[in-house]
Amino acid sequence: MIDTDYLDRLQEYLTGGDCEFEFDNGDEERRHAILDGLEKLMDISEHADELATKLIFKGGLGALAGIGQDQGEN
């Protein structure tokens, strides 16, 4: 399961300036750790994009919209 609360905190860390502040004020080891973490995040993002595309188009756009599924009532 995807922890959306964690993703929200991560987004705030990246967009709110904390990551940049830590990088600007960190020692060389900390800067490398931040860059390594960002690289891993970019790799994960690529996989997430590929998977989302696959899942969306797996059954065609109709599957996403619920077309063709039994709605229970006619």
Q: How remote is the C-alpha of 63 from its chain's centroid?
A: 22
- The per-residue pLDDT for 74 is 47
| pTM over 0.75, yes/no | no
Structural domain includes residue 73:
no
Domain count for the chain, please give it. Answer: 1
Structural domain includes residue 15:
yes
Q: Which long-range contacts does 12-19 make (Cβ < 8 Å, 24+ apart)?
A: none
Structural domain includes residue 40:
yes
Q: How remote is the C-alpha of 72 from its chain's centroid?
A: 34
Q: Domain residues for 19?
A: 4-65
Structural domain includes residue 55:
yes
- The per-residue pLDDT for 66 is 67
Structural domain includes residue 22:
yes
Structural domain includes residue 71:
no
Query: Which pLDDT tens digits describe the chain residue by residue (74 residues)?
Result: 899 999 999 999 999 999 999 999 999 999 999 999 999 999 999 999 999 999 888 866 655 566 555 555 44
Structural domain includes residue 74:
no
